[in-house]
Amino acid sequence: MSLHETFGQPLLTFPDAEKSPLSIRAKALVFVDPRSRQLREDLESLAPRALPVLIRGETGSGKELLARHIHRGSDRSGLFVSVNCGAISPTYADAELFGYAAGSHSGAASSRAGWFGSANGGTLYLDEIGDLPLPIQIKLLAALENHEVTRVGAHQPSPVDVRLVAATSIDLAQAVAVGKFHERLFHYLNEGQLELPALRERVGDILSLAEYFLGIYSQRLGLPVPLISEEAQRLLEQHSWPGNTRELENVIHFALLVSSGDEILPEHLNLPVASVVQIAHQARQILSSGNEVERAALTRLFQGLGAV
């Protein structure tokens, strides 16, 4: 029996997935876990509205996935433009975001719309918006509120219609408190919020995502699709996934390359053994159970280790 048959719901894939320059993990969404299903309800409620959206979640958890889904659900006819704020040059941030007029600097024979202008009529996704320099944050807010941008070297503003979806892996409220994020921009973004739980908090999604990555990489490498053994499934669900979906993708890719049979086993996953925290949790469960034999054996083991 395949994981798909066992764990049910398929992933929500984008119709233009094969044309996407994004990694494999940024081409599909899964909403199996109860927390994910609630997230999907919140997402689909926000998508058709004109509100800006702030997505909060750990690095590698799939924030751009949600942003793309919001754009698709908004019926906006323009492009989805994704920008990594950490990669924007502080020197040329104005020109990169808002564009420049012809002749504004040497080599600029023609004008350029910039990321903001490219998203006109569509959605501008700013990943890690906290990395934007404060002066650019102020100009960004003005452009959003006034629906116009002034390109570098231009004398007149250009009208724009852009919906902002931003993402952050930090607490922007704390950044505001220490003066490193613009307070009014923070309140502007807070009109619509989505909290993307870490993968370890969405245990019900792990095996469906693992199946997806396994199927995609098997197809790319021309390999038969192996099953994931029950022991490996348990290990996947118990792992804390500090790298979130990005880490899971890498683990499954590695397992496919090193497995020799038709089944993925725990040793193929290259994951650490259960952490001390997990062992302690399991031990507490045993000690609180009614199984006297297991309790006595565990107590003797702890006594031998000097733990009790």
Percent of the chain that is helix, strand, coil (3-state, to 5): 50, 10, 35
Burial 247-276 (b: 16+ CB within 10 A, else e): bbbebbbebbeebeeeebbbebbebeeeee
Examine the pLDDT at 64 and tell me if it is beyond 60. Answer: yes
Walk me through the domains of the chain, giving residue ranges and CATH numbers. Answer: 34-195 (3.40.50.300), 276-305 (no CATH)
Q: Which of 128, 161, 116, 139 is nearest to 54 (CA)?
A: 128
Neighbours of 162 (CB within 10 A): 22
Q: Which of the four pLDDT bands, split at 50, 70 and 90, describes residue 250? A: very high
Integer CA distances (angstroms), 49 to 53, 74, 218, 229, in order: 10, 7, 39, 44
Q: What is the pLDDT of residue 11?
A: 42
Q: Average of pLDDT values for 252-279?
A: 81
Calpha distance 218→224 (Å, rounded): 6
Q: Which of the four pLDDT bands, split at 50, 70 and 90, describes residue 19? A: very low
Examine the pLDDT at 156 and tell me if it is beyond 90. Answer: no
CA-angle at 67, arms to 252 and 149, nearest 5°: 140
Q: What is the pLDDT of residue 287?
A: 62
Q: What is the pLDDT of residue 79?
A: 94
Q: What is the pLDDT of residue 261?
A: 78
pTM: predicted TM-score of the whole model, two decimal places = 0.77
Q: Which of the four pLDDT bands, split at 50, 70 and 90, describes residue 16? A: very low
Percent of the chain residues topping a pLDDT of 90:
56
Calpha distance 232→229 (Å, rounded): 5
Q: Which of 26, 58, 51 is nearest to 193 (CA)?
A: 51
- 14 against 183, higher pLDDT: 183
Return mean pLDDT, the chain. 82
Examine the pLDDT at 107 and tell me if it is beyond 90. Answer: no
Q: Which of 173, 171, 252 is nearest to 217 (CA)?
A: 252
